[in-house]
Amino acid sequence: MNKFQTKKRSIAFFLVPQFTMLPFAAAVETLRIANRMLGYTAYTWRLCSTDGEKVYSSCGIGIEVNSSIADERKALGGEHRPDMVLVCSGVYVEEFQNKTASAFLRETYNRGIAVGSLCTGAHLLAQAGLLNGKRCAIHWENLPGFAEAFPQAEVYADLYEVDGNIYTCAGGTASLDMMLNLIGQDFGENLVNRICEQQLTDRVRSPHDRQRLPLRARLGIQNSKVLSIIEVMEANLAEPLSLVEIADNAGLSRRQIERLFRQEMGRSPARYYLEIRLDRARHLLVQSSMPVVEVAVACGFVSASHFSKCYREIYNRSPQQERAERKLTLTSVRTGVAA
């Protein structure tokens, strides 16, 4: 008998309203294909919500679940306890505040059961206090707000992270990679390769592969000096460097940098630096409840008034209006007005 023949693992997916369908579907389908390749049901799964009722994803598709948090907490002490609980969430996750969910996740972890998250689910793990001093991954778009809200977590823009009994992934197709990692631990590389062939996946990505396209591809430029300068800018948003400091770092004169940015980016380096700081600010305004003045400081502005002036110039609305529009969107989603 194959040494893996009797290995089994059960997973409970906790669905949060407005969860993102892609990472959830990628995870479940990867497990399904693993079962097919193995020829027996090595992986079982069930779906859970706070109250046991249908949960709607961010694309509007409703998913029926098998249990509530209350049911799952009862199961923790019996024969139907899962081997892993994965939180599936997505947009507006920072608005989901549920003490019962936090207690459930803590109890699960304290009983020695693995816990994890897909997409933005790391927010719920952090709210439950499970990510203090732990490495975790989250989608690059949500990383700035998450880092500000949970400074005790070691968050990275990786595809996924495994720290002890805690699994987190950035969402999208990264959940596929995290599931393949799990399956590889259980059944070895040969099965992982067979699953990849079925999924038309040409390679298994490592946890530390980049989430976003390389700067060269993302910006459509080839000049290595400009790319290295932009990397320095992106690494110094809270305390912006002066153009003289940037020039010294790049081994170029200020005039050379000005000329290069005009040629490659169509604007001055100062203007580009301002734009990426404001882009970070917009993410914080939309994805966190940080006061506007704290957002300003986190993005390197010396005053809220200067921040507001620059923000309005770029986005044609004030930071306060941006925040108000976000609240209106949240209200629409909750009441079903918006799709």
Q: Quick check: is 338 in a domain?
A: no
Q: Give me the mean pLDDT over the 299-312 stretch.
A: 93
pLDDT of residue 332: 56
Q: Give me the mean pLDDT over the 284-309 stretch.
A: 89
- Among the residue ranges 16-30, 34-48, 286-300, the one predicted with the least confidence is 286-300
Sign of CA dihedral 174, 176, 178, 180: negative
| Last residue of one domain, picked from the residues 142, 172, 199 | 199
Residue 280: what are its φ and ψ, rounded to 5°? -60, -40
pLDDT of residue 325: 80
- Among the residue ranges 94-98, 138-142, 147-151, 281-285, the one predicted with the least confidence is 94-98
| Last residue of one domain, picked from the residues 134, 168, 199 | 199
CA distance to 34, 195, 205, per residue, from 202 (Å): 17, 11, 9
Q: Give me the mean pLDDT over the 251-259 stretch.
A: 92
Q: What is the pLDDT of residues 64-111, one digit of tens each?
A: 999 999 999 999 988 899 999 999 998 878 778 899 999 999 999 999
Q: Quick check: is 103 in a domain?
A: yes
Same domain, 145 and 51: yes
Same domain, 44 and 142: yes
Q: What is the Cα–Cα distance from 93 to 219, expressed in whole angstroms?
A: 29
Same domain, 219 and 193: no
Q: What domain range includes position 36?
A: 9-199
Q: Give me the mean pLDDT over the 12-28 stretch.
A: 96
Q: What share of the chain is helix, strand, coil (3-state, %, to 5)?
A: 50, 15, 35
| Total structural domains within the chain | 2
Which amino acid is residue 68, in one-letter code?
S
pLDDT of residue 1: 42
Same domain, 70 and 164: yes
pLDDT of residue 7: 84
pLDDT of residue 292: 92
| 334 band by pLDDT with thresholds 50, 70 and 90 | low
Q: Quick check: is 23 in a domain?
A: yes
> Residue 252 sits in a domain of what CATH number?
1.10.10.60
Q: What is the pLDDT of residues 153-165, one digit of tens each?
A: 999 889 999 999 9
Q: In the chain, count of helices (H) and strands (E)?
A: 15, 11
Q: Quick check: is 209 in a domain?
A: no
Residues 6 or more apart whose CB falls under 8 angstroms from that of 311 comprise 278, 281, 282, 317, 318, 319, 322
pLDDT of residue 330: 57
Same domain, 195 and 221: no
Residue 114 β-bridge partners? 84
Q: Are the C-beta atoms of 135 and 83 separated by less than 8 Å?
A: no
Q: What is the pLDDT of residues 221-242, one digit of tens each?
A: 888 899 899 989 988 998 999 9
In this predicted model, which residue has the larger pLDDT, 299 or 6? 299
pLDDT of residue 128: 96
Q: Quick check: is 339 in a domain?
A: no
Average pLDDT, the chain: 90
**C-alpha closest to that of 92 among 224, 234, 289:** 289
In this predicted model, which residue has the larger pLDDT, 324 or 305? 305
Same domain, 66 and 153: yes
Q: Quick check: is 204 in a domain?
A: no
Same domain, 194 and 308: no
Same domain, 13 and 158: yes
> Residue 145 sits in a domain of what CATH number?
3.40.50.880
Q: Quick check: is 161 in a domain?
A: yes
- Among the residue ranges 41-45, 60-64, 138-142, 210-214, the one predicted with the least confidence is 210-214
Same domain, 194 and 225: no
Same domain, 105 and 249: no
pTM above 0.75, yes or no: yes
Same domain, 221 and 156: no
| 339 band by pLDDT with thresholds 50, 70 and 90 | very low
pLDDT of residue 179: 96
Residue 13 β-bridge partners? 47, 86
Q: Quick check: is 2 in a domain?
A: no
Same domain, 150 and 226: no
pLDDT of residue 337: 41
Residue 200, pLDDT > 80, answer yes
**C-alpha closest to that of 244 among 235, 256, 253:** 253
Q: What is the pLDDT of residues 143-198, one digit of tens each?
A: 888 888 899 999 988 999 999 999 999 999 999 999 999 999 999 999 999 999 99
